[in-house]
Structure formats: structure tokens, C-alpha cells
Amino acid sequence: MTRARRLGVRLAVAAAVACAGSGCAVIPVGGPSIVNDAGGGDPLSKPFQRMIATPPQPTWDAEQVVRGLQAAMAAYDDDPATLPLYLTPEARAAWKPTGTVTVIDDAFQVTYADDREADAGEERKVSIKARQIATIGDDDAYVPSPGPAPEKDFTLVKTDKGYRVDKLPDGLLLTSSDVARAYRGTNLYYLNGVSQDRLVVDRVWLRVRPTESFARTIVERLLKEPSAGLRGAVTTGFPPGTKVDSVRVGEEDRVVISLSGPLYLTKPDALMAQLKLSLNKNGMAIGRTIEVQVNGEPFASADRDLDQGWTDNGGNTPFYTDREGALHVLTDDGSGVTVPGAAGQPNPGFRYFALAKQTSGLVAAMTSTGISITTLTQEGRWQQVIQGDPDKLTPPTWHRDGSLWTYDRKNGVVLRYDPQSGRGPERVAAPKLQGLDVTQLRIARDGVRVAVMTGRNTVQVGALTGGAAGYMLANFHLLTTVEVGGEILDIAWGDGEHVLVLVKSKAGQSLREINVGDGETVQLPLKDKLTYLAALGERILAAADTDKGTQILELNQDHQSWTARLEATRPLFPLS
């Protein structure tokens, strides 16, 4: 009896201590425990702000009505109901919102055709004067078009509820702020034409839709055609008729993309690479597994890391040529290693060295009689493959399929030499280059984009279309130009998206990094006088005439300053 009671007391005390020690604490101290890292924010969209269109007020004058109409145009895609409130019934019936979107400067001016105030029922003519900045086409391509825009004329009628717009030009008129607010420059990735083993970037400007995730907007756009600049030059892994059912975050923080359509016809690899890169490069679904479901069944999934082959640049070792025309490898510690074979020997008179894909080990150079190639082996000997006047041929450029390209200015044709075919150089159609003074031809590392310098003051960008049936250079559009008196010294492909242009003008030299998709230009700082450029992705090398002689400089990671590497005449990277 006593023993039992003592036991009971002990148990009660133990329970009280346990309760006071842990269970009764508001937040018990403890750990460590494994926690799930994922879930930081929404991986499928980014925050954005929108213009809210407000209806016209009876007290507004004509200028305010036109400004309100412009604001309603900015909000038209989200809220198509407010804009018609600004219009008379006739204008409502006649006006079409579709077509090219005109982007104008923020500080646009509204001018009146006359000074008098209109009475009720009378018309008032008003026009918008502004600097046009760009247009956004139906293909979502953002095309810079600097210069004054044609005046947009509006006719307003005074009604009992205030001014209403009676006549207005078709299409939407947005300011650059409107575009910055509602559009996102987006990189889409398609497959290169023939081999379909590398992704090609297409820059489009997509409108953010408030009712759906931006990831879905990207995927839906990816299923459509590329923009005009790449039309006919790239293909896609998605068979025609593919539709997006949903894009959502599934279990284990996977991003699940539900598609429907005849996807069983296609190989999942290319498709997944397109999806993965198109989402990740635009800040969507970063660090997450992407899973594609077709008609509710799992189809394929892409892990965090993408196979490097899809963005292969054909090698990333920098090379340079010295004063004697010998080719060296630029090592990381800043010294040079001579390449084996003929290319490593002094080659006086050889200029414009170009390296093919590193795995093929071929190098080309311009000689006094044409273009010769050799291999980077001990047995490598120069062999002339294209004959011609070196002044009439553009510096050689290698395609990632192993062919050598140049433009014969004498005959006005593009020449393509394939070392594996055993035949001589063949001609490639380039109707848009007819009659132009092509001074440089550069094929990008993706094998699709082509940059062409015409004369000494213009750079155009086109694409290699046609595929296996026969190449054609087409889809050219102006990338940059320099004013009279200036000249372009050199061009180089950075990555598939950017072209570096070295410009010399009266004010001095400048180095522009231009996005071929939307013409976005970044001026890179210069210290010394540069002569030649070579770039691979973020890495930019240049030959400069310094007070210590001709040196190779490298742009630092911060893109602000240059570091001298060694004395040499010209840097180069494989391809391009």
C-alpha cells in the first residue's frame, strides 16, 4: 500500500516535470530537423505592375482625353472595356487595335491644330508628336526604329459628356514606360536548322498577362513560330498542333507543364532542352525539375542541369597570333603555347586566322592568293582551298558543321567550302546581299545567325535558312550603323545573342555590345585604341595598340576595365 502510494507520487512528479519542461512551453526548444528548402516564391511568374485605365472625365480638355486614351491603350490588353469609352460610336466601329504596336518616347507632346476652344458638337484636331523608339510586330519582335515618328492625328468631338475621339490611327500607341511595365524581353530557344543539336536564341517581347503565369505565356509563345529574323532558319521540337493545358507547380516543387497534341512523334530531348532553357534564361523555374505531361501522363522531365551539348560553342580556348603570323594558345596564366604543325610556325603574310570547332582541329587563314587551311597537328601543312584576291575576299569564318565560309566581293557571291566533301567551294544564295559591299561575314556559333558588315559603316544580321536542301542567307535586318565620318573597325559574335561592334568615330573609339534580337545596345568602356575583337560569351579579348606595342587585352568580369595579357597582334576563339 505504502509502496504503491510512493510510486504514484513519483510518477506524478515525473509527469509534472516533463510537462513543465517541454509540453507546456509555448514554443519548445529543439532541433535540428530536416527542412524542405524549396518553395521560395513563385517559380512561374514575376511581380509586375500594370496601367489601370480610367474612363474619361467630363471636365477633361482634348489633350487630357488624348492622354487618357493613350493610357487606355497601354491597358487595352488587360482591360479592353475602358478604351471604347473614349471613342465615339463611329470610331469604335472603325478602329482596329491589332497590328504593329508603336513605341514612342515617354515625353510625347499633344499639339492642337488650332487654338480655338470647340463648342458642343464641334470637332477638334489634335496630334501626338514624339520620338518613335521602336515597333513591336505581330511576331513579338521588338524592332528599334529611332527617329521622329510620323505624327499621329486624332479628331475629337465635344459631346455633352466631354470630348470623345472620333478619328484615330489603327493600332496601339505605347510609351516606352508602358512597354517596360507590360512587356518582358524574353529569350526563346529553338533548334538550329539542319543538325538540330544546338539551341538558337530568339529574342521576343512578350506581354505580361495578369490572369496567367508568365511561364505559361513563355511556353505558349514557344509553341508558335519564331520571330521574323529566324523564320525558316530554325525548327522546333514541338510537333504542330501542340497545346498548353496548364503550367503549374506540382509535387516536390516540380514545375509541371501539361501539353496536349501529337507529342508521341517527337524526341523528348530537344523539346525538353527548349523548354528548360526558354524558362530558365528568363528567370522561371530556376533550380527546379521540369516535368512535361502529355494528356495527363508523364512524358519527360528535365533535371536541374542541362546537357552542355545544347549550348556548345565549339571550344572555349583562346588563341592568338603573333607578329610573325604564328598561332598560339593563350593559357590561363597569361603565357602562350605554340600550336603544333604549320600554323604554329611563323607564317609571314598570313592574316585573319580563323579556328574551326576545337574537335575538328582546323584553322584557316587568308594568304596572298586566297584562303588556306591546315590542321593543328605536327603533320599539318597549309593547303589553299579558296583562291582569290585577298582584298576581294572577306576574312574566313567557320560554320559549326565544319565548313568554311567567305564572301567573294569580286563575284558578289557567298562561298562555302566543306573539307569533308572533297569538292571545291560552292556558292550559297544570298539575294539580299546583292549589290552590297560586304566587307565582313561572320557566322555565329549557333550556326544560324549571320552578321554582315557592309561598307565600313553598317552591320546587318541575318540567318542561314534553307537547311539541307540548300543554304540561303536571308532575313537580314539592320543592326547598327555609324554616322558619316565614322567607321566600323571590327565585328565579333559574343554569344548567339550579342554582336560586338568596334566603332571609330570623330569622338573616338567605342565598343558596342548589341543584342541582335531587340537592338539593345550596351557601350563597353575603352581605354586603349583597339584593332581586333574576339569574344566568347562573357569573355571579350581585343588587340590594342598601346604604348607598349600591340597587346592583347581582356575585359574584366565587371565589364568596366581591361587587363593586358601579352604582346600579340590578334586574339581569336574557335568558330565565329
Partner 1 sequence: MPPTKNARARRRTLRQILGGVRRRVRRAAGGARSVWRRSLQLQVVTSTLVISVTVVVVLGAFLFDQINRSVLESSRQSSVSEAFADRLQIEDALTPKSDDQSKPSDAGGAPSGNPLDDVMDTVTGSGEDGSKKRYDVLILNPAVPGQSRASGNVVPENIPLTLRLNLQRNGKTVAYIDRVRFPGQSLPRLTFVVGGLVHEPVTGQTYQIYHLFPLDEEEQLLSNVRLAIVVVGLGLVLLLAAIAYLVTRQVVTPVRLARQAAERLAAGKLDERLKVRGEDDLARLANSFNEMAANLALKIHQLEELSQVQRQFVSDVSHELRTPLTTVRMAADLLYDAREDFDPMAARSAELMQAQLERFESMLADLLEISRYDAGAATLDLDPVDVRDVVLRAIADSEALAERHATRFELRLPNEPCMAEIDNRRVERILRNLLFNAIEHGEGRDIVVTVGADRDAVAVAVRDHGIGLKTGEETMVFDRFWRADPSRARTIGGTGLGLAISREDATLHGGWLQAWGQPGEGSQFRLTLPRVAGADLKGSPLPLVPPEIEMRRTWRGHMTPVLLPATGDGAGHDEG
Give contact residues for partner 1 (rule: CB under 8 A): 41-42, 45-57, 60, 64-65, 67-71, 74, 79, 106-107, 175-177, 180-181, 210-212
SS3 83: helix
Least Å from the CB of residue 50 to partner 1:
5
Least Å from the CB of residue 162 to partner 1:
12
Least Å from the CB of residue 42 to partner 1:
6
Pick the closer one to partner 1 by CB: 184 or 357: 184
Least Å from the CB of residue 121 to partner 1:
23
Pick the closer one to partner 1 by CB: 214 or 405: 214
Whether residue 32 is preceded by a cis peptide bond, meaning omega within 30 degrees of 0, is yes
Q: Beta partners for 523?
A: 512
List own/partner pairs for 377-383 with CB under 8 A and 24 or more apart. Answer: 377/340, 377/341, 378/340, 378/341, 379/341, 380/340, 380/341, 380/342, 380/343, 381/341, 381/342, 382/342, 382/347
Cα–chain-centroid distance for residue 525?
22
List own/partner pairs for 109-112 with CB under 8 A and 24 or more apart. Answer: 110/62, 110/63, 110/66, 110/67, 112/62, 112/63
Pick the closer one to partner 1 by CB: 53 or 200: 53
Among candidate residues 478, 471, 414, 411, the one with its CA nearest the CA of residue 440: 414
Least Å from the CB of residue 51 to partner 1:
6
Q: Are 550 and 576 in contact (CB under 8 A)?
A: no
Q: Which residues are CB-contacts of 484 (< 8 A; sequence separation ≥ 6)?
A: 457
Pick the closer one to partner 1 by CB: 85 or 524: 85
Least Å from the CB of residue 538 to partner 1:
19
Least Å from the CB of residue 371 to partner 1:
45
Among candidate residues 117, 115, 83, 114, the one with its CA nearest the CA of residue 97: 83
Q: Beta partners for 387?
A: 370
Pick the closer one to partner 1 by CB: 142 or 398: 142
Least Å from the CB of residue 13 to partner 1:
25
Amino acid at 346: P
Pick the closer one to partner 1 by CB: 176 or 235: 176
The sheet with strand 234-235 has its strands ordered as 199-207, 183-192, 234-235
Pick the closer one to partner 1 by CB: 17 or 19: 19
Give the whole-angstrom CA distance, residue 38 versus residue 54: 40
Q: Are 214 and 244 in contact (CB under 8 A)?
A: no
Q: Which residues are CB-contacts of 460 (< 8 A; sequence separation ≥ 6)?
A: 451, 452, 453, 454, 476, 477, 478, 479
Pick the closer one to partner 1 by CB: 79 or 220: 79
Least Å from the CB of residue 262 to partner 1:
29
Pick the closer one to partner 1 by CB: 55 or 148: 55
Pick the closer one to partner 1 by CB: 68 or 261: 68
Pairing mode of beta strands 290-294, 255-260: parallel
Pick the closer one to partner 1 by CB: 135 or 176: 176
Least Å from the CB of residue 52 to partner 1:
4
214 DSSP 8-state letter: H
Least Å from the CB of residue 68 to partner 1:
3
Give the whole-angstrom CA distance, residue 181 versus residue 562: 35
SS3 14: helix
